[in-house]
Structure 1
Amino acid sequence: MSAEADPSALFRQEASELVASIEVGLLDLEKREGDSELIASVFRDLHTVKGSGAMFGFTEVAAFVHEFETAFDRLRRGEAAVNADVIAVSLKACDHIRGLLADPATAPAGKPILDALAGAMDSAAASGAGLVVQVRLPADAIRLGHHPRRLLDELAALGKTRIAALPEAIPPLDDLDPTDCLTGWRVEIEGNVDPADVEAVFVFLADLIDLEITPLGDPAPSMAEAPREATPARTAAPAQGSGPDTMRVATERLDELMDRVGELVIAEARLHSIAQTAGDSVLLVVAEDIQRLAEGLRDATMSMRMVPIGSITGRFRRLVRDLSTQLGRPIRFETSGEDTELDKTVIELLADPLVHIIRNAADHGLESPQERQAVCKPETGTIELDAEYSGAEVLIRVRDDGRGLDPAKIRRRAIDRGLTTEDAQLSEAELFRLVLEPGFSTAERVTDLSGRGVGMDVVRRTVEDLRGQIEIASEPGHGSTITLRLPLTLAIIDGLLIEIGGEYYSIPLAAVEECVELPAPHAAASGASSFLNIRGSLVPFVRLRDLFAVTAPPSDFQKVVVVTSGGSRIGLVVDRIVANNQTVIKQLSRLHAALKGFSGATILGDGTVALILDVPQLVALGRTIEDRSARLERAA
């Protein structure tokens, strides 16, 4: 039976997603303790895991989650308040559910966790004692000079409060008098609060207001519990207008579909080539129709594989929380660009490298609270993760505001390891890249978190396998930034087909900025590289025929394809620009994988193979040319 048809495998997959959703909800609750919608959302996910577990025979999961749900229901009913202990034990309960899903026989006993959760709830209930105040002012209160904001501020001064408006009495806009005070308020005040102190706030309105004071946690409906319907099963049909229908499809089927689409694109290119050679107008029309349909099918298939990076950021929030506790350092984790999409395969392979980078930022990058105070930094360190599109790439950055990299320390350790020599002249970027070498570490001691020099080597190998690049920037005392440059997709792209010395190559079209003629003076000159003046801007260019050691004579009318990556530009001198084409990316063999300047290969319509140029590597070469030229100018 396939994994897709195996009910237990389907349950494990869905339950894992629900546990991830529960974990994200708990982490959000840590910042928004009184959010009743969040509490209800976590409770619904727990209820679904319990019900599905019992249905599919996962009795250990169902039994544990039942007790977890029962304890969490106290928050939903307002009988206990969210606090750090409740969140911490609930996260451990999530870990235990994952263990039960993986293998119930090897999972540790869950009773200690449930006991700890019950104790945390009891403590939260004791510390959550307080009052619920519901108040409505007279309609003319504002006209009489009373200010609702001041009254609410006085209530807030009595203890930790949660305030919600009661807008039921507000009439339609056409009937509304803006000078009337029609909104009521519900205020939950935690702690030992004397009802007389509440009444004193409204002493001048005692005979005019509608005031109700009840103990916090009273079974009467509260802010933490709005009327709700029974939790619907996840397999139920969605309500009209609630969103698009979805279905679960095995990744293997998507991979197979993408492979078939790739073969279709190659066959379509072959058909188009035959139609052009034959000169048959009817055949050309059919070929163009098939080309249009193939492009639409390609785009639809690729969109199915695209996943937002936000799908994996939840685990990083949990990671940072655990690191903060383990290291004894307050850490704030911020994200942006979570809707930036990447191929599902890229997202899956990217999770572990990002874990290594974030762990290094927390352990090596951020200082202790005492060290941060000594240099006038806030005690709480910050780690930021953001993602954005950049042409044919996605840039993912991890920043921290810690101590930054120490170039001198990196250089000393590199010399000790034999990675460089005393007299080597390395730029700062080259020096920073040494931290990606296998076994390299500047840590003085090995800890549970880092120090063995393994993590960043894993990051480099994974990113290179994805045809990406890593950039490291740092400013001592102000933190570091690690940027991952990754292709949008690993399957099919639009390419610009070019010719050099009779051989064909493809350039990702999204990286192409413009194409210009190579001026005659440059065409007559020799040398692998130089600069081109394009509308007053100097752009370095590389003669690909010299770079590839092509011996055939050049074209009389060479062209320059200006490509861009990471905000930098370089011109690529080619003999001829052939056409735009759909490029099916094929990985290079192991024998050719080490070739610089190429990211893969593709099959053309006539069956020949064209290498795909690696634009980021070529742009990096252009930056090297610029740096070398600048150094020569300074020396002169």
Structure 2
Amino acid sequence: MSDTATTMFVQEARDLLEGLEDMLLDLEADPRPEKVDAVFRALHTIKGSGAMFGFDDLSQFTHHFEDAFDKVREGRLAVDGRLVDLSLRARDLMRSLLEDAEGARTREAEARAVLIRATADLTGPGTQADRATSAQAAAPPKEATRFDIFFRPAPDDLINGMRPDLLIEEIGALGPISVALDLGRVPPLDDLDPTRCWLGWHMSLTTSQGEDALRDVFIFADEAELTITPHTAMAAPEPDSPAPDDPAPARDAAVTRGGGSIRVESQRLDDMMDRLGELVIVQARLDQISRRIGDPMLETVVEEIDRLVTGLRDTTLSTRMLPIEMVFGKFRRVVRDLSGELEKTVALVTEGGETEIDKSVIDKLSEPLVHMIRNAIDHGIDDAETRRKAGKPAGGTVRLSATQEGGEVLITIADDGRGLDADAIRARAVERGLIEEAAVLSEAELHQLIFAPGFSTAKELTSISGRGVGMDAVKTTVDALRGQIQVASTAGRGTAITLRLPVSLAIIDGLLVRLGDAVYVIPLSSVEECVELDLAERHRESGRTMLQIRETLVPFLDLADIFNQPASTEPRRRVVIVRADGARLGLVVDDILGQNQTVIKTLSVFHRDVAGFAGATILGDGAVALILDVAVMIRTALEARDTPSVRLRRQAR
């Protein structure tokens, strides 16, 4: 069997197992028969495909898992918290058997035995399942229906490991059956390829199991011709019903193959984006050469190339965009398990899951969001009794939402817990030497201290919290993604933490600015406006460097001072007003050169720790321009504002 086919099975099985977790959690909340059937079909597919592709341990274990849900379908086993707990653990083991068959094999035998014993215990005397079984026994039997079935495997199915004899045997287990062979497509002997399948089968089956049970048998034969035609229900089986004279058209083939999507390795998307980045740089060079030459015909061609490259950029970026629901969906299990461990009732509410973000950002989001959700449940939400005394519902809520604003995606984790204790944060920060005892900090600055390395207000060390590494990891990841963190908290009402992240990490729209002979890039998503610098506004009587922007004063920094460059002699200078972390700042430059598509290149290992830069890009003339990290610039301004007695002992990044 080809490596490509096996790789495709593994990826599809991963997707099924991801979906299986959601199905089980949905089933716990609403155990309708169709949801039970959905779980059963997923298990049946993994079992059959696993055996076909040589994952015997996975297939055998899944067989026992499938048996348990067969009992649920028959009414012999009730859906409750114990069954869902057991099923989630079984799903985790299936993932282990898929990813690391050798390492998980030693655990499989024991886990399988536990599953079998637990299933037997759940169906033991006196359970709700017995009552369901009794009710089912009292109900009238389902009427039998005759189905005419035509099945023809795809030509390559035998090479890929399909066993038609086993499928027909499984169909036969559902009721009386007659089978006729279809030889209509078998070629002459000289043209016969023995590795390809030419046969078809007509079957007539009488069963009370229903059409879904038949389709479950063929669920992983998605390239085969398959028609299932039900006939009028009958009181007694007719085992000798003749097969149809001619096969009906393969109605289901297009349905099972449909979807209009293909699976692409993520590395190929990364390579495509790299090539596109180089193309954008070359296009910028071509545009610069065209302006220098001044040939109208060349300018026309360059404009057309620019239009095509822009369209290709947008298409490629949209290909890499994924709905953030892919991340949100994983946290239902986290909340369920953690609330059970802490003996708290917590509901997870998600909003804006359709919001799209670059896959490179999604890949890095899971860990920080897990830390924040765990922190909200452990520290933020009290136990039921404490909540009742505070006039709140016994159960808490964690709300996970996403929305897009311009070139940024805002992800908010909010809880209805006790809120942040500013006094406790301050005391702990003084104890750890993060701030001086006499420091005067705003509430927002105190809230930011929860992201300091090693910071924790937990009084006891547990398996969930107390080491002070969770929120620090969140800050590190968000900084690496060139994002920002905003905290809003009200005592007794809860806390909301918002991550502001760029939609894409590969290509951004940037504003080119000049300082002396050097060119820098400011991410356009952080720019609010550009104004001319009035020299009379540079130094007020207070000594503060402020700029009057309509009714408000905005602090500003001269980039020449920040980068230790000689004072500018330009007669007219400009200020770029930027915003980050909820604060505004003016950056003084010599000139604004215009907007530019910016391909982000990471800095070398020798320069990555230099604060104030998010990366670099290559301009049309081949020169390198540094990309400014606006968030760091604003933090620098805030720190410069503080006097030594109230200075925060924190790094720029």
- 2:49 aligns with 52
Q: Deviation of residue 416 (structure 1)?
A: 2.4
Match of 1:405 among 420, 438, 453: 420
Q: Is the 8 A contact 2:513 2:591 kept in 1?
A: yes
8 Å CA contact 1:399–1:482 kept in 2: the answer is: yes
In the other structure, the counterpart of 1:69 is: 66
SS state at 2:621 partner: coil
- Output the CA distance in 1 between the equivalents of 2:562 and 2:364: 33
Question: Is residue 129 of structure 2 the alignment partner of residue 125 of structure 1?
Answer: yes
The alpha-carbon deviation at position 83 of structure 1 amounts to: 1.9
- Determine helix, strand or coil for the equivalent of 1:489: coil
**2:220 maps to 1:233:** yes
CA contact (8 A) 1:496 1:509 kept: yes
1:103 pairs with 88, 100, 108, which one? 100
Q: Work out the CA distance in 2 between the residues paired with 1:597 and 1:391.
A: 23
Deviation at 1:555, TM superposition (A): 3.4
Structure 1 Cα separation of the partners of residues 634 and 405 of structure 2: 14
Check whether the contact 2:222–2:257 (CA below 8 A) recurs between aligned residues: no
- Structure 1 equivalent of residue 488 of structure 2: 473
Q: TM-score, normalised by structure 2?
A: 0.75
**Secondary structure of residue in 2 paired with 1:553:** coil
What displacement does 1:265 show?
0.8
Q: Secondary structure at the match of 2:121?
A: helix
Within 5 Å, which residues of 2 pair with 1:352-431? 352-431=367-446
Distance in 1 (CA, whole Å) between partners of 2:307 and 2:91 is 48
Number of the residue aligned with 2:191: none
Q: Compute the displacement of 1:18 (Å).
A: 0.9
Q: CA deviation at 1:390?
A: 2.3
Structure 1 segments unaligned to the other structure (5+ residues): 133-218, 632-636
Partner of 2:261: 246
Structure 1 residue 14, shift from structure 2 partner: 2.1
Q: Within the alignment, does 1:27 sit opposite 2:25 as a pair?
A: yes
For the residue of structure 2 that corresponds to 1:75, the secondary structure is helix
**For 1:531, which of 547, 562, 571 is the aligned residue?**
547
How far off is 1:264 after superposition?
0.9
Distance 2:628 2:91 in 1: 46
Alignment: residue pair count:
537
The change in CA–CA distance for 1:627 and 1:307 in structure 2 (over 3 A counts) is farther
* SS of corresponding position for 2:413: strand
- AA aligned opposite 1:117: T
Within 5 Å, give how 1:73-92 maps onto structure 2: 73-92=70-89
Q: Which residue of 1 aligns with 2:314?
A: 299
1:318 is paired with a residue whose SS is: helix
8 Å Cα contact 2:396/2:415 also seen in 1:
yes
> In the alignment, what sits opposite 2:355?
340
Question: Secondary structure at the residue paired with 2:616?
Answer: strand
2: CA distance, partners of 1:234 / 1:438? 53
Partner of 1:319: 334
Question: Identity rate of aligned residues, in percent?
Answer: 47
State the alpha-carbon separation in 2 of the partners of residues 124 and 384 from structure 1. 34
Deviations 1:121-140 (A, max 9, x none): 563422546879xxxxxxxx
AA aligned opposite 1:100: L
Q: Distance in 1 between matches of 2:371 and 2:591?
A: 44
Indicate if the aligned counterparts of 1:514 and 1:561 stay in contact, CA closer than 8 A. yes
1-structure distance, mates of 2:420, 2:82? 35
For 1:432, give the aligned amino acid: H
- Structure 1 residues 461-540: aligned runs within 5 Å: 461-519=476-534, 521-522=536-537, 529-534=545-550, 536=551, 538-540=553-555
> How does 1:421-460 map onto structure 2 within 5 Å?
421-460=436-475
Partner of 2:150: none
Aligned partner of 1:112 in structure 2 is 114
Q: Distance in 1 between matches of 2:513 and 2:435?
A: 39
* Structure 2 counterpart of 1:363, one-letter code: D
The amino acid across from 1:69 in the alignment is: E
- Residue 13 of structure 1: CA displacement? 2.6
1:529–1:543 Cα contact (<8 Å) kept? no
Question: 62-71 or 544-553, which moves further after superposition?
Answer: 544-553
Question: Counterpart of 2:19 in structure 1: which amino acid?
Answer: S
* Separation in 2, partners of 1:339, 1:621: 36
Per the alignment, in what secondary structure is the counterpart of residue 249 of structure 1?
Answer: coil
The answer to whether 1:580 aligns with 2:577 is: no
The question of whether the paired residues in 2 share the 8 Å contact of 1:381 and 1:400 is answered with yes
Q: Judge conservation of contact 1:392–1:508 (CA < 8 Å) in 2.
A: no
Q: Which amino acid aligns with 1:355?
A: V
> What secondary structure sits across from 1:448 in the alignment?
coil
Write the letter of the residue equivalent to 2:610.
L
Corresponding residue SS for 1:494: strand
Q: Please tell me whether the aligned partners of residues 268 and 291 of structure 1 are also in contact (alpha carbons under 8 angstroms).
A: yes
| Structure 1 contact 16–98 (Cα < 8 Å) conserved | yes
1:276 aligns with 2:291: yes
Choose from 570, 592, 612 the match for 2:627.
Answer: 612
Q: Which AA in structure 1 matches 2:90? A: A
Aligned residues of 1:71 and 1:118 also touching (Cα < 8 A): no
Do the aligned partners of residues 620 and 238 (structure 1) sit closer, same or farther apart at CA in structure 2, a change above 3 Å counting? farther
Moved more, 472-481 or 485-494: 472-481
Aligned to 1:563: 578
The offset of 1:91, in angstroms, is: 0.9
Alpha-carbon contact 1:555-1:576 (below 8 Å) kept: no
Query: 1:71-112, CA deviations, whole angstroms, 9 ceiling, x for partnerless residues?
Result: 213333455442222212111111111121232333322221
Cα distance between partner residues in 1 of 2:73 and 2:448:
51
Q: 1:308 aligns with which of 323, 343, 360?
A: 323
User: How many angstroms apart in 1 are the aligned matches of 2:581 and 2:435?
Assistant: 28
Letter of the structure 2 residue corresponding to residue 72 of structure 1: F
| Cα distance change, pair 586–397 in 1 and its aligned pair in 2 (3 A) | same
Q: Per-residue CA shift, 1:38-76, capped at 9, x if unaligned?
A: 223222222221122111100111111122122213333
Letter in 1 for 2:98: L
Give the letter aligned to residue 547 of structure 2. F
TM-score, normalising length: structure 1? 0.77
